[in-house]
Structure 1
Amino acid sequence: MNIIKQSVLQSAENSKYFKYIIFEDVVTSTQTIAKEKLFEIENSFVVSSLHQTQGVGRFKREFESPDNCGFYSTFVVRPNVNRDKLMQFNLFIALAITKTIERFINRPIGIKWPNDIYVEGKKLCGFLTEMIPDGQFDTIVCGIGVNIFNSPSEVGKKAALETFADEEIDVGAFVKTLFQNIEKYYDLFLKNDFSMIRDTYVSYSTVLGKEIIITTPSEQYEATAIDIDDFGILKVIDRDGQIKSVLSADIEE
């Protein structure tokens, strides 16, 4: 059996939250399938694949998912929390992924608020979180893509774990650790506010103190990132000296 597939299936079998798994070798998008199955499956579950033909990122961008080169999965959870807290989920999961990658490469890792993971200026991982109304509380559908191996067509365009590793990547150990950290930080999210992990998150930030371009559905402007507050909101100061709060946006450094 393919090593990535085997590792995902084994990690799901031993998982606290994600024992129910849908695994297809090729899919349009794990995110799409997860949303299609959302109301058929009562508990948390995960959808995973070796290759996405129409992988999707934030703001409907294409997320390239070369065959057998990465971890492509969507995690579905149903936290009993209010919507104001849901926006903090991204930040907890960003740390879960960062802490996992840190175990396998000895390079500085950065988080571009709110949810892209970079190593030496190259994107190693991205994830997309969507909130779906589901009765009284929302369901979280979180798609995660981690580049493990380089694709011949993508060498030089983005980073993969093997690019920065000092030895061959143990795929089984990586996937197992990722599942464990996602569950660990999901538990922390359920029991704590972002303020509990804020200092750690800020220590990985790639944007604080930098000039950035912020794009929202309604505007685009240049500003300097000055803080991430206790609620996970990015604080910036624009060219006119106005301090603004950014809840969700596309960030370019």
Structure 2
Amino acid sequence: MDKIIDLGTYIEKGINALESHLSFLWSAIDDGISWTVESMNDGLLAIPFWIIITLIALLGYYLSAGKKSFTREGFKKGIGIASFTILGFVLIYLMGYWKETIQTTTLVLVSSVIALIFGIPIGIWTARSHIADTVIRPILDFMQTMPAFVYLIPAIFFFSVGNSPGVIATVIFSLPPAVRLTKLGIHSVPPDVVEAGYAFGATEKQILYKIQLPLAMPTILAGVNQVILLSLSMVVIASMVGAKGLGSIVYQGIQQNDIAKGFESGLGIVILAIILDRITQSIGSKK
């Protein structure tokens, strides 16, 4: 059947126009992301692996145990994630994938930070503006339902191959939960609490920063958790455009039909996902 509306052609022309007229912008973004990722990789890889493992295990223990870190109850809460962190990372190191794990962690952290820098303010905006919510909601629906592979096409076009297109595609994929859960958290604040703030003479800014955001923080932190996990889920797809890390090893295993390589690198991603999930959940529930 012949096309009646050749929508894809118009989209392609629009992307070509953006690439040609804003090439300086894409180049600056590419340089900034590449420098950040490479600097973090070099810095973390320069630290002995056992120091990083120890620090992450202690962080997981402290966040999980909370204020009861030095009590028997706190020890029971924290020792699980600390033990899993040590055993999991030591296993990854012994399998020979420590460098790739650091590269993956760097990609996830950079992508998550960028997504949160944009996502949380947009979530606040949509929570406080009905017009903004009406405009942005369908955009978020589009971003969440579009197959992740599609994001790689414009990312490659603007940034060639490497870590930059992987980071950009990951940011787009993981941004919606940050927006939606920030908005949900602010809307979940009891109206009578907000009204009490107004009654005591609080300004709009004081209502936001001293009432709504503190009470919405558990929900916002749940959004942070989802952003990190969605970013991690993109590492294999991002490897198709040259992003380094465990995802690239999984991709090599698929290409070479190497079951051992695919299983080991996939197990590394699972271990990293569990550790990041437990730590971010502990931040949200820390008392």
TM-score, scaled relative to structure 2: 0.23
Which structure has more relative contact order (CA 8 Å, sep 6+)? It is 2
TM-score, scaled relative to structure 1: 0.25
- Whichever structure has more helix as a proportion of its residues is 2
